[in-house]
Structure 1
């Protein structure tokens, strides 16, 4: 049986098996062979994670927060409507791809941001851009390619509807600005949606951005997302993000546990956002495609990492204002930004710039930290932690990182199945039998769902996310762990910490094998749960086999090692 390998080395043999079933000399198989080769090559490349959602939902700010630097332009609508892909590079790079197919052109980093609509040559360049590729020496980008998409449309749009409302822009002023930018670029909202949808199809995983909650336009976008991608995107490879959680502060209209108006001094907008995120996650349309919905204050996350040190000087001055008085003055954020007040040691224009940079809650939070004696570095760390960006980054690294092999395997299998279906459809339309290679590959894909651990685990996870399995909470945890939720190593798959003695690993694996073998023999178990139980049993048998062989290599045939003897441990009759 093939061993567990690192996230990029596992499951490549699946595509090798499929390639061997395809005759390179078969003229009907040329495209299929290319698809198989691309799927195999993808296993050793970083995952493509698309940041999707409607326009003006904080996607680009979220990308900047994740990368920890302002590499994506948030202030230029002409750039907002381009696909922007970020990858790891030893030095900053900017590569522009063009609509007319001319060779890609490398420009100095930041060159596009310096172009203006008043410069005819610059505008011609912006109109010709198809995609922007940005290379940065970012630790996160060593693991993933991030794709910032322009914007998905509503589920209820029609081919005749060509308005900014289709992309979820409700504010009349923002609509006018966006319409002007699209007109200058020679674009329309349909092309923006089509480009975003195409990137979704190419992505291995998706982070879907909402602004503050699941409003009507966002609900329609989720419906569209679920309808278009629900068959191929599951909670295995997608989760949602509320990108502007800080906008729940100050707490207008909120009440505390005592029934009185919420105190802005103690009010945590992230807690409110978490409740809203949990509520979003309970909706069937959301639960069907997203593993979870997380709250993030994207603007605050960017400010914590990128704001110049000079900005901390007016914050320190503002922190001299008594906290209760500052909270009172910030109850109306608009007035706080424009009203001259002798009680405030910072001019209105500077206050407005701080709020634009880090949000009202960020300003109040930073003042509190500085008032408590924290220095600049400690304040930045506090702001970053409170923004939710650290938790989101960890979620991306943990979930998408640990699941990378399975996710890319699923992507490759899906593309191969689509090519097989295309071959069959083409033959049917031409009134001829489907090519034999289509039948061979389809049968092989189906066979591997049962016999190969990778496709089998994918099928088990799909069944779990659909719901309705007859499993206990502990069994669900074991299903997630043994399929790599916490990591690809044997200890992680057994739900044990790294460094656990080999003997303990083997005892645990054998205990799980015995449990799941008994479950598979349960005559009352329904068919979907039985299929999943068999996958989990095979996965635990595989772990037990690997750990047993490791023990033999380390300690010989005496079956004695750190953690105690295991030779007499019952294994449920499986002989492992």
Structure 2
């Protein structure tokens, strides 16, 4: 029997896709009678909610530390393991970090501004990002500088951010020295979007830069390898990644992926994280290369194809062309092995949407009175549009240049078209440009895919790193007598067990493992609808019962429970199908339990 078709429980009453109870085991009537599907849980176990993921993680860290004993009494051989546990505790408590990585000039800083809906980091070819910035939520805007030489961090006014992150003049030796001394910056901002996770803006991945970028780095005193190392190092301390692809920076789709696969951001890659020198951190032991769950797998990586507005005017609908390119990257070029999704974005338009002023709105309203075809021809001429007097355009050249610099040609004509269609207020225009740029949906994607399971993704990283705790034992510090050394090793193994137990205790953790198997292509025999259902019930498209069951919001509780029980019967039957083994069988079992829990909660 084909694993993908002909399953005897597929066609229930009326020939639909809902399961019917199987009368016989696979093989037909002559086969042995099948064991009945496992009974539906009465809900007694699921009725007691599991402790929160963060609380369970913190408890595991505390119990592991208790096993190792207080630091002041611990053998020297256990001190690195205690340091690692401190790192796990910090990781569990801090906000999730999402790093933006890509080539120099790929538009990472522009994308940060677009996501936050305001100008927060410097952008532009003349303002090459020099230092890593981590943006985190705070009640007011602040900038704190952390230095490479270990000196105390100091706070600066937000207006100084450009001087601390952007290129200095070639004749500004003091400015260059100041920039080289900075390790990274922490920027607090009251943007509501930063409540979901921190954003990390990195310099670039280019190993071979163009002449302009190479010259810039040369007089800044940095090499391309240093820029690349900074980006990879800080991406390694993140929990998830946004890979930023710039439209037009590659000859073909395969080349777009080359920077990331070459930098080790492929499937299952993990660049560590945590404090430098700690297990699982860049430069520390046990970096966990190849460990699932760290940055670099499809479950924790999303792609952004930026600047697609520059496809205009050759392509009247640049987002449609961007979707075509993104589709080829994900299929023909193998992007599905690297990313959960790749979204085309008019990132310049999205960033401008949060920065337009009433004066800009007035100028756009004037330009909107121009005959659309004439305006499009003028805008398409680029430099001429921004410099020539043009008596048939009611806005002076300097103001046109300002609008063109903000919105690019496509965004400018789009904004004027929206005004002609009836948009008559600045807030409405900003919201519509944000939506038309693709940024509104992209924000939701990051929040749903990353923010909704931030604690779980961090726990996955902690468990993977905890498995390397035995590797932290310095052989030269272990007691010389074998029994004492064995006791220390056994103590560390018991500490590791506290984290491994979480994989069994947390059902959401098991769902995350199944999702990882799904994205890594390890669920052989599942049909596309089944894979879609797996992702849905594991929370990829929303955490509410209705979203997980694929039903509209507001569906009656009785209907939710009926569908949960119906799908429970289906996946119960799947668990006894002998065509499934390994990760596929585990996925069936996990989904059966997911539906049990949903039904019990309803």
With normalisation by structure 1, the TM-score equals 0.80
Deviation at 1:31, TM superposition (A): 2.6
Of 166, 174, 180, which residue of structure 2 is paired with 1:127?
180
Structure 2 residue aligned with 1:202:
237
Distance of 2:453 and 2:333 partners within structure 1: 24
User: How do residues 361-380 of structure 1 correspond to structure 2 at under 5 angstroms?
Assistant: 361-375=410-424, 376-380=426-430
Residue 50 (structure 1) aligned with residue 99 (structure 2): yes
Between 390-399 and 32-41, the greater mean CA deviation after superposition:
32-41
Gaps of 5+ in 2: 1-44, 271-289
Q: Flag the 1:373–1:489 CA change in 2: closer, same or farther, 3 A.
A: closer
Give the Cα–Cα distance (whole angstroms) in 2 for the partners of residues 453 and 44 of structure 1. 21
Q: Deviations over 1:75-119 (max 9, x none)?
A: 486761100010111111111111211101101111142576465
SS at match of 1:276: helix
Which residue of structure 1 lines up, in the alignment, with residue 437 of structure 2?
A: 387
Q: Residues 341 and 425 (structure 1 numbering): CA distance in 2 closer, same or farther, change over 3 Å?
A: farther
CA distance in 2, matches of 1:542, 1:73: 48
Q: How many Å separate the matches in 1 of 2:477 and 2:585?
A: 37
Contact 2:60 2:498 in 1 (8 A): no
Q: How does 1:443-522 map to 2 (within 5 A)?
A: 449=503, 452-469=506-523, 470-496=525-551, 500-522=555-577
Q: Which residue of 2 aligns with 1:220?
A: 258
Aligned to 1:59: 108
Q: 1:531 is matched with which residue: 572, 586, 591?
A: 586
Q: Which residue in the other structure is 1:556 paired with?
A: none
Measured on the aligned residues, the alpha-carbon RMSD in Å equals 3.1
**Is 1:3–2:71 an aligned residue pair?**
no
Which of 323, 337, 348 is the aligned partner of 1:288?
337
Q: Which has the higher contact order (CA 8 A, sep 6+)?
A: 2
Quote the residue 1:550 is aligned against. Answer: none
Report whether the alignment pairs 1:413 with 2:463.
yes
In the TM superposition, residue 420 of structure 1 has moved relative to its aligned partner by 3.5
- Cα distance in 2 for partners of 1:77, 1:413 equals 43
| 1:358 corresponds to | 407
User: Which has the higher mean CA deviation after the structures are superposed, 88-97 or 436-445?
Assistant: 436-445
Task: Answer whether contact 1:483 1:493 (CA < 8 A) is retained.
Answer: yes
The answer to whether the 8 Å contact 2:470/2:492 transfers is yes
- Residue number among 324, 329, 339 corresponding to 2:378 in the alignment: 329
Q: Deviations over 1:170-218 (max 9, x none)?
A: 3x4x33xx523x3343322211111111111110111111111672553
Which segment is superposed worse, 48-57 or 126-135?
126-135
Aligned pairs, how many? 514
**Contact between 1:240 and 1:294, CA under 8 Å: does it hold in 2?**
yes
CA distance in 1, matches of 2:410, 2:323: 16
Alignment of 1:86-165 (within 5 A): 86-113=135-162, 117=169, 121-154=174-207
Three-state SS of the structure 2 residue aligned to 1:146 is strand
- Equivalents in 2 of 1:53, 1:357: separation in Å? 22
CA distance in 2, matches of 1:466, 1:54: 25
**SS in structure 1 opposite 2:243?**
strand
- Which structure shows the higher helix fraction? 1
Q: Return the offset for 1:280.
A: 1.0
Taking the aligned partners of 1:381 and 1:148, their CA distance within structure 2 comes to 24
Match of 2:282 in 1: none
1:426, 1:334 → 2: CA distance?
68
- Which residue is 2:301 aligned to? 238
1:226 is paired with a residue whose SS is: coil
Which residue is equivalent to 2:311?
Answer: 248
- 1:12-23 equivalences in 2 (<5 Å): 12=58, 15=61, 18-19=64-65, 22-23=68-69
Distance 1:462 1:250, change over 3 A: same
Q: Report the secondary structure of 2:467's partner residue.
A: helix
- 2:53–2:506 contact (8 Å) kept in structure 1: no
CA shift for structure 1 position 370: 2.3
Q: Out of 397, 410, 418, which is 2:447 matched to?
A: 397
C-alpha displacement of 1:487: 3.9
Structure 1 range deviating more: 199-208 or 275-284:
275-284
SS of residue in 2 equivalent to 1:91:
coil
**Compared CA separation, residues 212 and 528, structure 1 to 2 (3 A):** same
C-alpha contact 1:60 1:72 (8 A) present in aligned 2? yes
- When the two structures are superposed, what TM-score results if normalisation uses the length of structure 2? 0.77
TM-superposition CA deviations, 1:43-78 (whole Å, max 9, x none): 343210101111100000000010111110114867
Cross-structure match for 2:78: 29
Unpaired stretches in structure 1, ≥5 consecutive residues? 155-165, 255-266, 548-576
Deviates more, 1:292-301 or 1:281-290: 281-290
Report the 3-state secondary structure (helix = DSSP H, G, I; strand = E; otherwise coil) of the residue aligned with 2:232: helix
Distance 1:108 1:221, change over 3 A: same
Alpha-carbon distance change, 303 to 78 in structure 1, aligned in 2, over 3 angstroms: closer
